[in-house]
Amino acid sequence: MPTFRIELFEGRPLDQRRKLVEAVTRVTCETLGCEPGSVDIIIDEVKRENWATGGKLWSEQK
């Protein structure tokens, strides 16, 4: 059973998240030959103040 954990900044609309999980599921099934019901996807929404890149918090970037 393929399981994906996707981390995103919080606040993306439900429609975008729905499209994302549909696309990941579709490509996974096409690639691995599995059934959609066997694909698990966990979306973790992270506040910008809790995510840093290059030593800088995203909440403090322009």
Query: What is the average pLDDT value for the chain, to the nearest integer?
Result: 97
Digit-coded pLDDT (tens) for 11-39: 999 999 999 999 999 999 999 999 999 99
What domains can be seen in the chain, in order of their start residue?
A: 3-51 (3.30.429.10)
Using CA atoms of 22, 43, 15, 39 in order, give the dihedral in degrees to the nearest 10.
20
Token pair, residue 42, equals 């966990």
Question: Could you list the active site residues?
Answer: 2
Q: What are phi and psi of 16, to 5 degrees?
A: -65, -45
What's the pLDDT score for residue 62?
73
Digit-coded pLDDT (tens) for 48-59: 999 999 999 999
What's the pLDDT score for residue 19?
99
What's the pLDDT score for residue 12?
97
What's the pLDDT score for residue 50?
98
Within 10 angstroms of residue 39's Cβ, the number of other Cβ atoms is: 19
